[in-house]
Amino acid sequence: MPHDPPIPSDSGIDWPEFVAMDQALVDNGGATLFPITARALERRNTMLPTQR
């Protein structure tokens, strides 16, 4: 099964920090695409353009 090659360790990205920050967005409902709280959902919906 094909897969992406690993990112080189010299990429300059602090992966543990990046993953922790990313997960924190999900934990507190701050992820825009998939909000987990009613407030985050309402905030996301107000940012979306209305369909016509």
pLDDT value of residue 49:
81
How far from 42 is each of 5, 18, 26, 31, 36, CA to CA, in Å?
Answer: 38, 26, 16, 12, 11
Whole-prediction pTM = 0.37
What pLDDT score does 5 carry? 61
Tens-place pLDDT, residues 8-40? 667 788 888 888 887 877 766 556 677 778 988
pLDDT of residue 23: 81
